[in-house]
Amino acid sequence: MKQEDIMMNHRIPDEVRYARQIRFKPLAVDGQSLITASKVAVVGMGALGCVIAQHLARGGAGYLRLIDRDIVEASNLQRQILYDEDDVYAVMPKAQAAARRLKAANSSIQVDAMVEDLTPANAEELLKGVDLILDGTDNFSTRYLINDYSVKHGIPWIYGGAVGSGGMMMAIRPGSTPCYRCLFPAAPAPGTTDTCETAGVLSPAIDMAASLQTAEAFKLLSGRSDKLHGSLIQFDIWDTGMTQLKISDSKRADCPCCGLHHYEFLEPDEAHPAVEALCGRSSVQLTPAVPMRLNLDELASRLQAAGTVERNPYLLKLLLPNDQSLVLFPDGRALIQGTNDPDQARRLYTRIMAP
């Protein structure tokens, strides 16, 4: 098809859009068709999720579900490549902002934005029906939750993480590889590992982890699981180096998840943290025990007296005189910005919601 026809019809045929990917012999037309027919969930639309979703969308994964609980903030712009300054000023949820960018890059795929926190209570619904799950999260509890769902339903997922100048990744295929819990039986005690908060992070390290994740995703989605590297990759881009740790012998018969099939992270649990300090900045997330349906317009007018209220179709933001702010979603979930103290956040939430 000629360029003029594309301009005239406002439609880009797949054979043009994916021409270079199809020309790559190990994929070819058949591999591309399988990628186009695939359904993928990306959990976490921070730095990793942005890179992963961008490659998948442009590469033609036919259905993308973007799951993220957060809004775009100024300190995200250094590395979260799907967002811009307007998203910060408009207090855009990351999932919505990302979906808009990705649809602009590829209108032939379907992109669903879910502005939600993935929890044991909603995981079955939020992850239902996809062929593959990509990890763009920044915390252990969500990864254990994804791992439980993956092993229970036989859906592969691809783990990745980056901090400082390094990162790691591996693909988990239930029944074929060890699971995440076989290798990382328990989350490290809080404060014992580096996070983006304590060690910072270089954006090329994130791109590297996310690109390695997406490469494995393309292999899986195109039916070429024979090409998966089958290892835990660790790398550093500052002290340049990469190691591949063989994991084929790491499957544990007593693994609570893939050995004993106890999916404890999927069990809705009273103890699920209703108040959680978020990695990477001074924010606390507060989730009500029972989801509610808030009338944000009514709340917006009531809260005028408490501070400056901003409103968009997805949320309400209240900026308080002490520079703290509260972002409220329609289901009652809140992000309290300007504090790391869960008790202080809980007091503020209670005061605002039940004056």
- Residues binding Zn ion (CB under 5 A): 179, 181-182, 255, 257-258
Q: How far is CA 227 from CA 7, 58, 117, 202, 351, in A?
A: 38, 22, 33, 29, 55
User: 144: closest CA among 126, 169, 123?
Assistant: 123
* Ordered DSSP codes for 79-113: T-TT--HHHHHTT-BHHHHHHHHHHHH-TTSEEEE
Q: Cβ neighbours of residue 231 under 8 Å, at least 6 residues apart?
A: 170, 244, 245, 246, 247
Q: At what angle do helices 28-36 and 203-221 cross, to 10 degrees?
A: 100
Please report how close the Cβ of residue 173 comes to Zn ion at its closest, in angstroms. Answer: 12
Residue 38 or 150: the one with the smaller Cβ distance to Zn ion is 150
Please report how close the Cβ of residue 260 comes to Zn ion at its closest, in angstroms. Answer: 9
CA distance 198 to 193: 9
Please report how close the Cβ of residue 265 comes to Zn ion at its closest, in angstroms. Answer: 12
Residue 147 or 287: the one with the smaller Cβ distance to Zn ion is 147
Please report how close the Cβ of residue 41 comes to Zn ion at its closest, in angstroms. Answer: 21
User: 286: closest CA among 355, 354, 337?
Assistant: 337
Phi/psi at 246 (5° precision): -65, 130
Residue 181 or 317: the one with the smaller Cβ distance to Zn ion is 181
Left, alpha or beta for 195 (phi > 0: left; psi -120 to 50: alpha)? Answer: beta
Please report how close the Cβ of residue 156 comes to Zn ion at its closest, in angstroms. Answer: 14
Residue 56 or 257: the one with the smaller Cβ distance to Zn ion is 257
Q: Per DSSP, what are the bridge partners of residue 311?
A: 316
Please report how close the Cβ of residue 182 comes to Zn ion at its closest, in angstroms. Answer: 3
Residue 41 or 255: the one with the smaller Cβ distance to Zn ion is 255
Residue 186 or 305: the one with the smaller Cβ distance to Zn ion is 186
Q: At what angle do helices 47-59 and 94-105 cross, to 10 degrees?
A: 30
Residue 186 or 290: the one with the smaller Cβ distance to Zn ion is 186
CA distance 350 to 163: 34
Please report how close the Cβ of residue 223 comes to Zn ion at its closest, in angstroms. Answer: 25
CA distance 332 to 119: 15
Please report how close the Cβ of residue 178 comes to Zn ion at its closest, in angstroms. Answer: 6
Residue 99 or 255: the one with the smaller Cβ distance to Zn ion is 255
